[in-house]
């Protein structure tokens, strides 16, 4: 059984998710990249599973995406909710960088479409259900590579996302506490003005 504030020890969140992490978070980004860039969803792949997979045909354009960093703000807000037995909610904001490598004959077209489509308000709103927003895109950089004596066109672009993270911890209400008070004895000389001397 998980600890709570009454048992002592380390506290874990009451729910593992939200926020989305790992494969679930990658799926959100895969759907966003496919929808905005115009690529079919099966051609937007994560970098790690794609390492051993067969790449698409040379005449197809596809994307490898990778979550590169998640930077959290310096000071999360922690508030107590006294409802029921009580809980603490931690809310913080983080910035997520996702690297998108467009590969294939139309790589630049899809990279530019992803960059420009990220500025369209309706595309930005698609992430609101996950408490996320697109905050910008980096430059498109050529990363062409020669494989088996054939040049492969590749353009990399980084997208930046902001996300609100909320986690709830089992910090119980304080119902009572043993308290002892001691009265100090005060003599009349304690109030004498010694500056007058």
Residue range 3-29, pLDDT digits in tens: 888 888 898 898 877 788 899 999 999
Which pLDDT score is estimated for 195?
59
pLDDT of residue 61: 96
What's the average model confidence in pLDDT over 123-147? 89
Of 46, 51, 30, 42, which is closest to residue 114 (Cα–Cα)? 30
CB atoms within 10 A of CB 117: 20
Asked whether residue 106 is assigned to any structural domain, the reply reads yes
CATH number, position 119: 3.30.2000
Could you give the CA distance from residue 57 to residue 36 in angstroms, rounded to a whole number? Answer: 22
Tell me the mean pLDDT in the region 37-63: 86
Sign of CA dihedral 139, 22, 144, 58: negative
* Residue 190 falls inside a structural domain: no
Residue 17 lies in a domain: no
Q: Which domain holds residue 107?
A: 22-72+93-162
Residue 91's pLDDT band, with cuts at 50, 70 and 90, is very high
Share of the chain above pLDDT 70, in %: 90
Q: What domain count does the chain have?
A: 1
The C-alpha atoms of residue 4 and residue 178 are separated, in whole angstroms, by 20
- Is 186 a member of any domain? no
Position 171 in a domain: no
- Runs of H (alpha helix) within 59-127: 107-117, 121-125
């Amino acid at each position: 059984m998980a600890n709570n504030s009454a048992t002592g020890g380390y506290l874990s969140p009451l729910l593992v998710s939200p926020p989305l992490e790992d494969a679930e978070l990658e799926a959100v980004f895969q759907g966003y990249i496919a929808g905005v860039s115009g690529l079919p969803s099966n051609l937007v792949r994560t970098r790690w599973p794609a390492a051993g997979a067969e790449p698409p045909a040379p005449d197809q354009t596809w994307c490898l995406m990778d979550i590169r960093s998640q930077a959290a703000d310096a000071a999360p807000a922690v508030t107590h909710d006294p409802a029921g037995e009580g809980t603490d909610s931690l809310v913080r904001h983080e910035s997520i960088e996702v690297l998108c490598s467009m590969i294939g004959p139309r790589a630049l077209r899809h990279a530019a479409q992803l960059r420009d489509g990220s500025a369209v308000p309706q595309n930005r709103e698609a992430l609101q259900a996950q408490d996320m927003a697109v905050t910008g895109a980096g430059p498109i950089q050529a990363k062409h590579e020669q494989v088996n004596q054939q040049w492969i066109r590749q353009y990399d672009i980084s997208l930046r996302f902001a996300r609100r993270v909320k986690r709830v911890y089992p910090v119980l209400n304080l119902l009572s506490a043993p308290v002892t008070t001691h009265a100090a004895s005060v003599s009349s000389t304690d109030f004498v003005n010694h500056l007058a001397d």
